Protein backbone atom coordinates (compact mmCIF):
# COMPACT_ATOMS: atom_id res chain seq x y z
CA UNK A 1 0.00 0.00 0.00
CA UNK A 2 1.50 3.30 -1.09
CA UNK A 3 0.60 6.65 0.46
CA UNK A 4 1.35 10.22 -0.53
CA UNK A 5 1.23 13.37 1.55
CA UNK A 6 0.24 16.73 0.11
CA UNK A 7 0.97 19.92 2.03
CA UNK A 8 -1.57 22.63 1.24
CA UNK A 9 -0.77 26.28 2.01
CA UNK A 10 -3.79 27.97 3.60
CA UNK A 11 -4.48 31.49 4.78
CA UNK A 12 -1.29 33.53 4.88
CA UNK A 13 0.63 31.45 7.39
CA UNK A 14 -0.85 27.98 7.81
CA UNK A 15 -1.10 24.55 6.22
CA UNK A 16 -3.41 21.59 5.89
CA UNK A 17 -2.21 18.09 5.07
CA UNK A 18 -3.80 15.37 2.97
CA UNK A 19 -2.61 11.79 3.28
CA UNK A 20 -3.97 9.54 0.55
CA UNK A 21 -3.73 6.01 -0.77
CA UNK A 22 -2.38 6.04 -4.35
CA UNK A 23 -4.48 3.06 -5.41
CA UNK A 24 -7.86 3.64 -3.75
CA UNK A 25 -7.65 7.49 -3.83
CA UNK A 26 -9.00 7.54 -0.24
CA UNK A 27 -7.87 10.62 1.66
CA UNK A 28 -7.43 11.81 5.24
CA UNK A 29 -7.29 15.57 5.85
CA UNK A 30 -5.44 16.98 8.85
CA UNK A 31 -6.92 20.36 9.83
CA UNK A 32 -9.23 22.57 7.77
CA UNK A 33 -8.02 26.17 7.89
CA UNK A 34 -9.55 27.23 4.56
CA UNK A 35 -11.90 25.36 2.24
CA UNK A 36 -11.01 26.58 -1.25
CA UNK A 37 -7.38 25.38 -1.51
CA UNK A 38 -8.26 22.08 0.16
CA UNK A 39 -11.25 21.45 -2.12
CA UNK A 40 -9.09 22.34 -5.13
CA UNK A 41 -6.45 19.77 -4.19
CA UNK A 42 -9.09 17.09 -3.53
CA UNK A 43 -10.74 17.74 -6.91
CA UNK A 44 -7.51 18.07 -8.92
CA UNK A 45 -6.19 14.77 -7.54
CA UNK A 46 -9.53 12.92 -7.77
CA UNK A 47 -9.45 12.10 -4.05
CA UNK A 48 -12.27 10.67 -1.95
CA UNK A 49 -12.13 12.44 1.41
CA UNK A 50 -12.99 9.83 4.03
CA UNK A 51 -11.78 11.39 7.28
CA UNK A 52 -10.88 14.79 8.67
CA UNK A 53 -8.72 14.97 11.78
CA UNK A 54 -8.79 18.33 13.59
CA UNK A 55 -5.71 18.79 15.79
CA UNK A 56 -7.17 21.55 17.98
CA UNK A 57 -9.84 24.23 18.25
CA UNK A 58 -8.12 27.35 16.89
CA UNK A 59 -10.02 29.04 14.07
CA UNK A 60 -7.06 28.69 11.71
CA UNK A 61 -7.52 24.91 11.99
CA UNK A 62 -11.32 24.63 11.74
CA UNK A 63 -12.74 27.58 9.76
CA UNK A 64 -12.88 25.69 6.44
CA UNK A 65 -14.56 22.59 7.83
CA UNK A 66 -18.17 23.49 7.05
CA UNK A 67 -17.50 24.38 3.40
CA UNK A 68 -15.38 21.28 2.87
CA UNK A 69 -18.22 19.11 4.17
CA UNK A 70 -20.89 20.77 2.00
CA UNK A 71 -20.21 18.33 -0.83
CA UNK A 72 -18.45 15.54 1.04
CA UNK A 73 -19.42 13.03 3.70
CA UNK A 74 -16.15 12.61 5.57
CA UNK A 75 -16.00 11.41 9.17
CA UNK A 76 -14.76 14.24 11.38
CA UNK A 77 -12.50 13.53 14.36
CA UNK A 78 -11.15 15.80 17.10
CA UNK A 79 -10.08 16.06 20.72
CA UNK A 80 -12.58 15.21 23.42
CA UNK A 81 -10.84 17.78 25.64
CA UNK A 82 -11.84 20.48 23.10
CA UNK A 83 -15.45 19.34 22.68
CA UNK A 84 -16.73 22.68 24.04
CA UNK A 85 -14.59 24.68 21.55
CA UNK A 86 -14.81 22.56 18.40
CA UNK A 87 -17.63 22.42 15.89
CA UNK A 88 -19.77 19.30 16.20
CA UNK A 89 -17.73 16.29 15.08
CA UNK A 90 -18.52 12.63 14.45
CA UNK A 91 -15.87 11.17 16.76
CA UNK A 92 -13.98 12.50 19.76
CA UNK A 93 -10.67 11.03 20.87
CA UNK A 94 -8.44 11.28 23.93
CA UNK A 95 -4.89 10.32 24.83
CA UNK A 96 -4.44 6.56 24.51
CA UNK A 97 -7.08 6.17 21.77
CA UNK A 98 -6.21 5.14 18.24
CA UNK A 99 -7.58 6.23 14.90
CA UNK A 100 -7.38 4.22 11.70
CA UNK A 101 -7.20 5.02 8.02
CA UNK A 102 -6.72 2.54 5.18
CA UNK A 103 -5.74 -0.29 7.56
CA UNK A 104 -3.14 1.90 9.28
CA UNK A 105 -3.51 3.06 12.87
CA UNK A 106 -2.17 6.01 14.77
CA UNK A 107 -2.00 6.62 18.50
CA UNK A 108 -3.55 9.73 20.01
CA UNK A 109 -1.36 11.53 22.51
CA UNK A 110 -1.77 14.74 24.45
CA UNK A 111 1.45 16.50 25.26
CA UNK A 112 1.29 19.25 27.85
CA UNK A 113 3.85 21.94 27.15
CA UNK A 114 5.31 23.70 30.18
CA UNK A 115 4.96 27.51 30.20
CA UNK A 116 8.74 27.69 30.57
CA UNK A 117 9.37 25.57 27.48
CA UNK A 118 11.37 27.10 24.68
CA UNK A 119 10.44 26.69 21.05
Is position 81 within any domain?
Answer: yes
Instruction: Give the range of the structural domain holding residue 102, as residue numbers without chain letter.
Output: 3-107
Task: Pick the closest to residue 52 from 44, 70, 118, 11 (CA basis).
Answer: 70
Q: What is the DSSP letter of 112?
A: P
In a domain, 117, yes or no: no
* 45 domain residue, yes or no: yes
**Main-chain dihedrals φ then ψ at residue 43, nearest 5 degrees:** -70, -45
CA-based torsion, 113, 106, 18, 83: positive or negative: negative
CATH of the domain at 62: 3.60.15.10
Please name which of 63, 48, 47, 50 lies closest in space to residue 14, comparing C-alpha atoms: 63
Asked if the structure places residue 93 within a domain, the reply is: yes
Q: Calculate the average pLDDT of the chain.
A: 91
Q: Is residue 34 part of a domain?
A: yes
Does 41 fall in a domain? yes
Indicate the number of domains in the chain: 1
Q: What would the mean pLDDT of 85-90 be, rounded to a whole number?
A: 92
Domain-embedded: residue 115: no
Is pLDDT of 118 > 60?
no
- Do residues 41 and 15 touch, judged by C-beta distance below 8 A? no
Q: Is residue 113 part of a domain?
A: no
pLDDT digits (tens, 9 = 90+) for 21-64: 999 999 999 999 999 999 999 999 999 999 999 988 888 789 99
**pLDDT at 57 (0 to 100):** 85
Amino acid sequence: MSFELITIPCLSDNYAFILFNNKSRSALLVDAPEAEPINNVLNQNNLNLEKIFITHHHSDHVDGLEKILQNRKAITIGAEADIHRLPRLDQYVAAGDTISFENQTGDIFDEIVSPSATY
